[in-house]
Chain A
């Protein structure tokens, strides 16, 4: 009896550890005198939708660059999709998906051309690209516009396609950097339903947003202030902990308490 009681949680913890898609420990980036990211530690489990919030200038972008293998940390450790950020940056890039509002697809290419291009970039074989491309076009209902240049399509369609292309090579984790900026509320929700669906199938989703209602759609949320993680938990637990009624209230309170980010650095 005693044995099973003690074994349970330990076994669970070990499983949890091996299931983590991100593990960061004291991850830090210093630019000259400025500590852009100041010893952040957190982990993200498989299939989790993890919200990564912070005011403009709080250090989110720098943190994401380190986690996606684009920027070497100054100190600390992190592994993403099983690879070390120092020694496995190239492997990380191959094993993650990435989509942002600013950079997603090529406007002058058609949906099919975009799929082919990014499939190639992600190292898929020609046959795979062909099969997946067809399947994608069908699932997204883009058959009638498969040969129309992207710039003529509504933003909502483009975003769905961008997301699908970002996960076409079946990464364990996808990074979404403000994926829903400027989109109408209906399209925004449809996009989130795509996120839920993918998470249900086991994809880990790491997402930043300025919409505080979207923060509530995440399993867990972290809020960065001045390069540190000022809060991290489920949205419900965070609101209870800080005695606030919404994520917006909590965000504003934490961001205002911080000295940096929104001052002129």
Chain B
């Protein structure tokens, strides 16, 4: 497989504020690649460099084997870009928007209809409606169709699922999986950690720095401390008692339980339960658990910031 994107030592600052620091990564052709990070991590800046809307201050970048500065025109005709904010023409209808984008890219809706059929069929009943009058989920689907209408080799999606409910998010990822099967390389940014597991590989971004680039399994392998899921009746107290335990590395709420990491390799569930019992907690359940993407991201973040333990 060839390389769709290759970055080496890429830097970008806005005034005195560094947005990206020494970014090096490679995305293979046909890969579904996730950029995972919070607001302000640098995801948008990175995507905008890849789609030639921003020029890096330093470093080397290649997109589809082309130079984003000298060959930006060729790149633009071969990528599909969906920005983080809705950027279609609100006063044009669904159909008009799609035709407009097809025309700009020198093609027709019919020519590549096969690629968008799946998604566009859900929009078809509203094809005469103005884009501005669509619901959030439908706007997002239309934006995706417009980004795909010229059958790009590389699709760049900037936070397509932010602010979207759990059902629409799941549907959106199902669409991405189907597009991937058609051979399109996809780079998608998201602040949702759970979406990382749906990617072939992910890059963790925090404050402009890459914390890790790996498969979802590879990333969770970076978390090496013994980890336990702990439950008790009073959750907030449980959290504080776990943090107060002398061997605690970290303790964070995870859904209905608290994930507790211990400093010692030899830590056992029984010992942790004993400690909590002594502190007067009730209905205690302690089970070893495998670290997930979010556990790992938080641990890497704290390392990156050189922060102490909570």
> Could you tell me which A residues sit within 8 Å of B by CB distance?
54-57, 101, 154-155, 178, 181-187, 189, 192-193, 196-197, 200, 210-213, 216-217, 235-236, 246-248, 251-252, 255-256, 262, 264-265
Contact = CB atoms under 8 A, between A and B. Distances in A.
Cβ-closest 3 pairs across A and B: A184-B38, A182-B39, A196-B236
Nearest to A178: B163
Given A184-B41, A185-B38, A265-B135, 4 more contacts: A56-B165, A155-B40, A251-B166, A262-B168
A56 B255 contact: no
A255 B167 contact: yes
Given A186-B298, A196-B236, A155 B164 contact: no
Contact of A217 (B39, B40, B135, B253): B253
Nearest to B170: A252
Nearest to A58: B165
Interface string B180-224: 000000000001110000000000001000000000000000000
Contacts of B236: 193, 196-197, 200
Contacts of B7: none
A184 B168 CA distance: 21
B191 A255 contact: no
18 contacts: A55-B165, A56-B135, A56-B165, A101-B163, A155-B39, A181-B162, A182-B162, A183-B38, A183-B191, A184-B38, A184-B206, A187-B38, A196-B239, A210-B165, A212-B166, A255-B165, A262-B167, A264-B135
B134 interface: yes
B138 A193 contact: no
Contact of A264 (B138, B165, B166, B170): B138
A62 to B, nearest CB: 14
Contacts, number: 98
Nearest to A192: B253
Contacts of A264: 125-126, 129, 134-135, 138
Given A181-B163, A189-B253, A210-B166, A57 B298 contact: no
Contacts of A57: 135-136
Nearest to A256: B167
Contacts of A197: 236
B245 interface: no
A19 to B, nearest CB: 20
B256 A55 contact: no
A149 to B, nearest CB: 13
Contact of A216 (B162, B167, B168, B256): B256
A181 B236 CA distance: 22
Nearest to B239: A193
Contacts of A189: 252-253, 298
A155 B191 CA distance: 13
Contact of B166 (A183, A200, A216, A252): A252
Nearest to B307: A186
B165 A182 contact: no
Chain B contact residues (Cβ within 8 angstroms of A): what range?
Answer: 35 or more
Contacts of B193: 185
Interface in B259-310: 294, 297-298, 301-302
B39 A183 contact: yes
Contacts of B302: 186
A102 to B, nearest CB: 9
B254 interface: yes
Contact of A236 (B169, B206, B256): B256
A182 B256 contact: no
Contacts of B254: 213
Given A186-B301, A186-B302, A216-B255, A55 B168 contact: yes
B137 interface: yes
A264 B39 CA distance: 30
Contacts of B137: 56, 262
Contact of A182 (B38, B126, B206, B252): B38
Q: Which of B166, B170, B239 has the most CB atoms of chain A within a 10 A radius of its CB? A: B166
Contacts of A265: 135
A55 B167 contact: yes
B68 interface: no
A183 to B, nearest CB: 6
Contacts of A246: 255
B226 interface: no
A181 B40 CA distance: 13
Q: Which of B167, B170, B235 has the most CB atoms of chain A within a 10 A radius of its CB? A: B167
Contacts of B256: 216, 235-236
B277 to A, nearest CB: 21
Contacts of B163: 101, 178, 181, 210
B160 interface: no
A265 B138 CA distance: 11
A55 B166 CA distance: 7
B37 interface: yes
Contacts of A213: 254-255
Contact of B301 (A155, A184, A252): A184
Interface string B37-60: 111110000000000000000000
